[in-house]
């Protein structure tokens, strides 16, 4: 075979190029592209072949072997996001902003797993063992039977784990791990990929669950090559605004449970506390209903969550009005404004528009369209919606309203929290609405005309 081709890889997003350049064409980062040593194809440069390999054992799909039971931590919110508990031999990647509480969450989880009888090892590449013990004392976990290690050499760590044979290993963090067989600096694309691969193979081979902490970039994505997210079984993001005490643990990939599931925690002086009823927490600071305030009945994963949407519409002193969004998609806001003007004759030209999701929660489902439109119209007309009202529904470009999924669960959650009125699109299964008064609309113009007397 000829000489291996030189590959240049971006340390920010993992994109590969045939030549070096100062700016990555994939993510736009500067000075992040470096040469990556090619992987060897085999002894003396020979390719793989059937003659040198060993037979791989095959099993029948209809085997009577029972799957290994999940290990529950006892933290209901964490177990919910994992799909019911930790699957033996699984690899989990947890990402989040610096200082958001990833290490605190995993130290509490390690203590709960260990107290439940699962041998647990916590490996820190960023802190010394004394610093981890200091944090454990502050959280009241000093008596937990968790074994600590402070090292970054992956070979030494795997050798230790081979002898200990724990049930759970927590690596904090994957970017600090150093594999001595890779000629690259710790934290580089090659090192992160090699370390994640070795840990994932170790987890599958020994039946040991591995949780890896991953740093995130300025865009909120886990740093390093995206192939790491494909290697692992579960990818979790720990989110939250620094100005709020709420923290959201969100599953974006889960081979053993539902994706987009969330767990809600509250940051306290004694660590992270579980929030069993997030709807009541997100609406706890809601005062007297005012113009621009609308309660949206949403679905996060498998659980219904009620959250307040806040809108402000004000005259703009500039020729180009501002459109500021926190917690929602700015492109979808532009679409809602265009539909309101084209289908309902309500312009927002010359007006600044601000939209905020209260509590620091981030919403991505399209069922929030109708609630956003209601908040914008309420702020523009300076008319508050009736109290104890929830709104949900998807808006199409034609102005028609599409029914949302799990309508029945949304209505049950609203009724449980004391809401008496719901505004939703026509169609969709509602079940027994109970004491909830349900108002249905087929299109956006009908909703605007009946609710605000315009359109």
Question: CATH number of the domain that 118 lies in?
Answer: 3.40.50.300
Q: Give the pLDDT confidence score for residue 375 in this predicted structure.
A: 96
Q: Give the pLDDT confidence score for residue 368 in this predicted structure.
A: 96
- Do 242 and 112 fall within a single domain? yes
> Which residue range(s) make up the domain with 243?
76-276
Say which residues have a Cβ less than 8 Å from residue 183's Cβ, sequence separation at least 6. Answer: 37, 190
Cα–Cα distance for residue pair 158/448, rounded to 1 Å: 63
- Do 359 and 412 fall within a single domain? yes
Cα–Cα distance for residue pair 275/196, rounded to 1 Å: 32
100 is in an annotated binding site: yes
Residue 68 included in any domain: no
- Do 299 and 324 fall within a single domain? yes
How many CA atoms does the CB half-sphere of 169 hold within 13 Å?
Answer: 29
Neighbour count for residue 454 (Cβ, 10 Å): 13
Cα–Cα distance for residue pair 292/354, rounded to 1 Å: 10
Helix extents (H) in 287-406:
330-344, 369-381
Q: Give the pLDDT confidence score for residue 292 in this predicted structure.
A: 94
- What the block records as the tokens of 83 is 């799909």
Least Cα distance to 73 among 43, 32, 114 occurs for 114
Region 374-390: what's the mean pLDDT? 92
Q: Could you tell me the CATH number of the domain that includes residue 419? A: 3.30.230.10
- Do 178 and 239 fall within a single domain? yes
Counting the structural domains of the chain, the total is 3
131 DSSP assignment: H
- Do 253 and 390 fall within a single domain? no
Q: Give the pLDDT confidence score for residue 61 in this predicted structure.
A: 79
Say which residues have a Cβ less than 8 Å from residue 140's Cβ, sequence separation at least 6. Answer: 270, 271
Residue 378 included in any domain: yes
57 is in an annotated binding site: no
- Do 252 and 355 fall within a single domain? no
Last residue of a domain, one of 276, 302, 326: 276
- Do 325 and 205 fall within a single domain? no
Give the pLDDT confidence of 81-128 residue by residue, as tens digits. Answer: 999 999 999 999 999 888 889 999 999 999 999 999 999 999 999 999
Residue 293 included in any domain: yes
453 is in an annotated binding site: no
- Do 239 and 348 fall within a single domain? no
Beta strands in 287-442 (DSSP E): 293-300, 303-315, 323-326, 351-357, 389-391, 394-395, 401-402, 421-425, 437-441
Give the pLDDT confidence of 204-214 residue by residue, as tens digits. Answer: 999 999 999 99
Long-range contacts of 393-397 (CB under 8 A, 24+ apart): 393/367, 393/369, 393/423, 393/424, 393/425, 393/441, 394/366, 394/367, 394/369, 394/370, 394/425, 395/335, 395/336, 395/339, 395/369, 395/370, 395/444, 397/335, 397/339
- What the block records as the tokens of 176 is 């600090």
- Do 80 and 2 fall within a single domain? no
42 is in an annotated binding site: no
Least Cα distance to 295 among 168, 132, 422, 182 occurs for 422
Asked if pLDDT for residue 411 goes beyond 60, the answer is yes
**Range with the poorest average pLDDT among 48-52, 181-185, 205-209:** 48-52
Q: Give the pLDDT confidence score for residue 62 in this predicted structure.
A: 78
Asked if pLDDT for residue 49 goes beyond 70, the answer is no
Q: Are strands 421-425 and 293-300 parallel, antiparallel or unpaired?
A: unpaired
- Do 442 and 295 fall within a single domain? yes
pTM beyond cutoff 0.75: yes
Q: Are strands 234-239 and 246-254 parallel, antiparallel or unpaired?
A: antiparallel
Residue 175 included in any domain: yes
Contact of 374 with 392, CB cutoff 8 Å = no
304 is in an annotated binding site: no
Region 330-345: what's the mean pLDDT? 95
- Do 244 and 341 fall within a single domain? no
Give the pLDDT confidence of 79-88 residue by residue, as tens digits. Answer: 999 999 999 9
103 is in an annotated binding site: yes
Q: Give the pLDDT confidence score for residue 50 in this predicted structure.
A: 57
Region 415-422: what's the mean pLDDT? 90
Residue 233 included in any domain: yes
Q: Which residue has the higher pLDDT, 422 or 8?
A: 422
Cα–Cα distance for residue pair 318/325, rounded to 1 Å: 18
233 is in an annotated binding site: no
Residue 64 included in any domain: no
Last residue of a domain, one of 261, 276, 291: 276
pLDDT tier for residue 155 given thresholds of 50, 70 and 90: very high
Last residue of a domain, one of 236, 252, 276: 276
- Do 122 and 198 fall within a single domain? yes
Residue 51 included in any domain: no
Neighbour count for residue 258 (Cβ, 10 Å): 13
Residue 43 included in any domain: no
Asked if pLDDT for residue 69 goes beyond 90, the answer is no
* Block residue for tokens 């960023």: 126
96 is in an annotated binding site: yes
Q: Give the pLDDT confidence score for residue 455 in this predicted structure.
A: 47
Least Cα distance to 447 among 404, 408, 397, 393 occurs for 393
Least Cα distance to 247 among 218, 268, 267 occurs for 267
Q: Give the pLDDT confidence score for residue 202 in this predicted structure.
A: 95
């Amino acid at each position: 075979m000829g000489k291996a081709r030189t590959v240049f890889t971006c340390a920010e997003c993992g994109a590969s190029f045939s030549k070096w350049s100062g700016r990555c064409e994939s993510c736009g980062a500067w000075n992040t592209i470096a040469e990556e040593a090619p992987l060897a194809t085999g002894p003396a440069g020979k390719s793989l072949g059937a003659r040198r390999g060993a037979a791989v054992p095959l099993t029948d799909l209809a085997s009577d072997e029972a799957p290994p039971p999940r290990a529950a931590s006892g933290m209901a919110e964490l177990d919910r996001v994992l799909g019911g508990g930790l699957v033996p031999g699984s690899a989990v990647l947890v990402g989040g902003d610096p200082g958001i509480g990833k290490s605190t969450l995993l130290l509490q989880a390690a203590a709960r797993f260990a107290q439940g009888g699962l041998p647990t090892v916590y490996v820190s590449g960023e802190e010394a063992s004394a610093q981890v013990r200091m944090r454990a004392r502050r959280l009241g976990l000093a008596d937990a039977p968790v074994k600590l290690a402070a090292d970054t050499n992956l070979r030494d760590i795997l050798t230790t784990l081979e002898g200990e044979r724990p049930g759970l290993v927590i690596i904090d963090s994957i970017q600090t791990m150093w594999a001595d067989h890779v000629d690259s600096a710790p934290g580089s694309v090659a090192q992160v990929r090699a370390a994640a691969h070795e840990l994932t193979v170790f987890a599958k081979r020994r039946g040991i669950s591995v949780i890896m902490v991953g740093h995130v970039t300025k865009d909120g994505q886990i740093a390093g090559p995206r192939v790491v997210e494909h290697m692992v079984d579960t990818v979790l993001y720990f989110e939250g605004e620094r100005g709020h005490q709420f923290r959201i643990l969100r599953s974006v990939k889960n081979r053993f449970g539902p994706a987009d599931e969330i767990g809600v925690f509250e940051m306290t002086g004694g660590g992270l506390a579980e929030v069993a009823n997030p709807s009541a927490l997100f609406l706890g600071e809601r005062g007297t209903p005012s113009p621009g305030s609308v309660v949206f009945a949403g679905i996060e994963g498998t659980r219904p969550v009620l959250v307040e949407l806040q809108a402000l519409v004000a005259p703009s002193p500039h020729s180009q009005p501002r459109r500021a969004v926190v917690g929602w998609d700015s492109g979808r806001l532009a679409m809602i404004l265009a539909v309101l003007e084209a289908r309902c004759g309500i312009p927002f030209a010359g007006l600044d528009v601000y939209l905020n999701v209260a509590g620091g929660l981030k919403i991505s489902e399209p069922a929030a369209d109708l609630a956003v439109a209601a908040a914008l119209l309420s702020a523009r007309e300076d008319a508050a919606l009736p109290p104890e009202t929830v709104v949900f529904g998807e808006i199409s470009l034609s102005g028609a309203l599409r029914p949302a999924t799990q309508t029945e669960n949304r209505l049950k959650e609203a009724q449980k929290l004391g809401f008496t009125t719901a505004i939703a699109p026509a169609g969709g299964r509602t079940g027994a609405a109970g004491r909830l008064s349900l108002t249905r609309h087929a299109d956006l113009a009908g909703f605007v005309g009946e609710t605000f007397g315009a359109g």
